[in-house]
Structure 1
Amino acid sequence: MLADTKYFRVDELTVQIYNNEAEMAQDVAKIVSQYLQNLLQQQDTVAVLLATGNSQLKFLDALIALGGVDWSRIILFHLDEYLGISGDHPASFRRYLRERVEQRVKPQQFYYIEGDTLQPLAECDRYSKLLQTQPIDLCCLGVGENGHLAFNDPSVADFHDPYTVKLVKLDAINRQQQVNTGQFPNLETVPQYAFTVTLPLICAAKKIICLAPEKRKAHIVKDILQGEINPKCPASILRQQAQATLFLDSDSASLYQFS
């Protein structure tokens, strides 16, 4: 860990703040690499649930560049996918992960949510059963500008969700974020519905890392750490997870009031 990193706890959640996103990504990559290597000394395979989005790019590049992880013993899943777009669509999370992870590290298996399925409810059931075949050893997260984890927007987030994977309608803030970050050209082209892994499955992971850099995340980071633990801010549930760490840069932590 870098010597000038701020390190503290909010309820059960560990928080680490770095000078900038590049330093954060490098350090988180080292933490994750060592964790995976240690686990692989104790068990045959490791199951990892991956996030997508801009917050993950530098981290994933740094993790892969480090080497040292036997990816042939890693089983990968992902958190969410839009309904109705193909795996080759520029905004598809399958494409993002196939190009940025699978093709580079050759994991033992990468199980994808089939966003263009003709039977969405059957796909929820199929992916739920895959996720339930073994414990998730590591879950990598980002945070949406509305506080969502995966596609658990405030309007659909349920801390006690009975489902493992569900189909949800995306809220306006979420859909606009996808335009603002360049995933879609305009709001009309953003799908209204998506698949998401639910909050109880995320919180059941043995280790959770959540990366939330950039100034545009400052308001929601403040809400996560200083507001109520409530589905209106889905990521606030991380404050109840002793196995979770929230990684911030100076920009995203800029509105946090230190006591």
Structure 2
Amino acid sequence: MRVLIVKDYEEVSREAALRIAEIIRSKPDAVLGLATGSTPIGCYRELIRMHKMEGLSFSKVSTFNLDEYVGLAPDHPQSYHYYMFQNLFNHVDIKVENIHIPNGVAEDLDEECLNYEESIKRAGGIDLQLLGIGRNGHIGFNEPGSSFESRTRVVKLSEQTRMDNARFFKSLDEVPTHAITMGIATIMEAKRIILLASGEAKAEAISKAIKGPKTVMVPASALQDHEDCLFIVDRKAASLL
């Protein structure tokens, strides 16, 4: 595990985008694992700029998203399907058939999870996985207590996570209670991992993930064992290191 501390959110976003672009340029058919939430938006904005201004092509790239809310259809404004198309896919030349996001309204959610794992394997695995981190140390929607051996599955969201995400909904009552998420073992199989964090609110989680003991109560601490994991954090997020 390596840590890159930069000045601010804009630099976090730029450094992440540069590394993703490097992967795509060296391997045009790269398989990317993508994250949602507020943190990756700047990175996606920079990738869009690189596509439009520097010719960065996503035409052969395949993507797998970390998670999706259970019960939200792809056209729901707060679904992660909607988020990804609004913040990245609608603005680059990626092929729709190469986009993979868990289906939160699948009739059989367990089968959806198994099929998602198989799709990742058929694609040859994930070359680079982008992650954020929750204030409680979650990655994807792997909440504290999640097994390090976990695979893609349906999980119950903690009240902390639901409250953190309530700002995207009209009220806390509208925030889904469950989600489909890649498991920690699924995430750890990515060849490279980049985790992004910005702001003082993430400082404790970053400190525990990097300096603390490896424990299921801090899911991101599993990343200590990954062979090629880079944390890109701004000074505020790194303030407790």
TM-score w.r.t. structure 2 length?
0.93
Q: Deviations over 1:47-84 (max 9, x none)?
A: 11100011101011112212343211101110000101
Matched, 1:81 2:71: no
Within 5 Å, give how 1:1-259 maps onto structure 2.
13-40=1-28, 45-67=29-51, 68-108=55-95, 109-133=98-122, 134-155=124-145, 157-161=146-150, 163=151, 165-179=152-166, 182-256=167-241
CA RMSD of aligned residues (A): 1.3
Amino acid at match of 1:220: A
Measured after TM superposition, the shift of residue 168 of structure 1 is 0.6
The answer to whether the 8 A contact 2:149-2:183 is kept is no
Q: Deviations over 1:179-223 (max 9, x none)?
A: 1xx212322211111100011111111111110111111111111
Q: Which runs of 5+ in 2 are unaligned?
A: none
d(CA) in 1 for partners of 2:210, 2:170: 32
d(CA) in 2 for partners of 1:127, 1:188: 29
Measured after TM superposition, the shift of residue 172 of structure 1 is 1.1
Measured after TM superposition, the shift of residue 234 of structure 1 is 0.3
Aligned residue for 2:31, secondary structure, equals: strand
Aligned residue for 2:27, secondary structure, equals: helix
Q: Deviations over 1:105-164 (max 9, x none)?
A: 131310221111222112112212211212211111000111011000013x11122x3x
d(CA) in 1 for partners of 2:188, 2:133: 14
d(CA) in 2 for partners of 1:239, 1:122: 31
Amino acid at match of 2:173: E
d(CA) in 2 for partners of 1:175, 1:194: 11
The answer to whether the 8 A contact 2:67-2:101 is kept is no
The answer to whether the 8 A contact 1:90-1:183 is kept is no
Amino acid at match of 2:109: P
The answer to whether the 8 A contact 1:50-1:139 is kept is yes
